[in-house]
Amino acid sequence: MVELKTVLRNPWFCTRLGAPQERIPPHSSPFQGAPRLGRAGRPRVRPGPQRPRRPVAVGTSEHHSARRRSSEQYQGQSMELPDPVRQRLGNFSRTVFSDSSRTGPEYNEGPDNEMVSSLALQMSLYFNTYFFPLWWVSSIMMLQMKYSILPDYYRFIVVTVIILITLIEAIRLYLGYMGNLQEKVPELAGFWLLSLLLQLPLILFLLFNEGLTNLPLEKAVHIIFTIFLTFQVVSAFLTLRKMVNQLATRFHLQDFDQLSVSRGDMRRVRSCIEEI
């Protein structure tokens, strides 16, 4: 019955059949109230009014919470270290970077979710990312110019060292970004170890070995790279120490809160027993 009324309302059928046309009131249609369909045959959903975002002051607890939420969202999209490696690096960090002189939690006036990432370390990583391609191109050009002068064993050593530095630098910068921005202790500890134990000795070998006959441009880029690595080792050590101490403080505070809650529950139970 409804379909017949819909057909009779069509003016083309009315003119063919000679039937009087049914007047449709203005601003209405026979399909009024039915959901509009899109191209895929699904009902269109009108977006509701969006709530304007309230500006957040930099340095407040809300700003730190927003940065932490964004870092946690990015954390799910990024690659992570394997669990055994993370566990070993975490144990190493707690052993080396924890402050043994602290006997208990220390209460400070700052917020609980204070960011401990190092701005200086992040700036050095940023500039190091742009400097490393320049260092690589300069090293390859200088090696090509003096390749015929070097002995055979030095040729093999220099090529191997450049390949190792390239691979280590890619992993090192990735761990540095992940550990500093997201406040991950295992990643930042891996970055510190790679910088101190592998990258810095290799660069010093290329810089101070007289048998390599370094050219002036080669010495300049090696010195700049050494400065980057030295600064990053020191700043990463200080940042790791701060991160580990903050994590230890949070752990002790959680234990203290749980102990205080359990003591409060015991007091309530005792008071109820005494009343009974």
Q: Domain spans of the chain?
A: 115-242
So what's the pLDDT on residue 176?
94
Give the pLDDT of residue 223: 96
Res 115: pLDDT: 76
Both tokens of residue 35? Answer: 């959901």
Give the model's pLDDT for residue 229: 96
The string of pLDDT tens digits covering residues 81-108 is: 777 777 777 777 667 776 665 545 454 4
Q: Would you tell me how many other CB atoms lie within 10 Å of the CB of residue 252?
A: 15
CA distance 191 to 133: 19
Given its phi and psi angles, is residue 192 left (phi above 0), alpha (psi -120 to 50 degrees) or beta?
alpha
As to burial, measured by CB atoms within 10 angstroms (0-12 exposed, 13-18 middle, 19+ buried), residue 201 is exposed
- Full 3-state SS string of 13-43: HHHHHCCCCCCCCCCCCCCCCCCCECCCCCE
Max CA distance (Å), the chain: 107
Q: CA nearest 185: which of 250, 240, 120?
A: 240
Task: Identify the segments of the chain with pLDDT beneath 70.
Answer: 1-79, 93-94, 98-114, 250-276
- In the beta sheet, which residues pair with residue 37? 43
Q: What pLDDT is attached to residue 105?
A: 47
Amino acid sitting at position 216: P
Q: Could you give the CA distance from residue 221 to residue 165 in angstroms, rounded to a whole number? A: 14
- In angstroms, rounded to a whole number, what is the distance separating the alpha carbons of residues 266 and 275? 14
User: Residue 74, Cβ neighbours under 10 Å: how many?
Assistant: 12
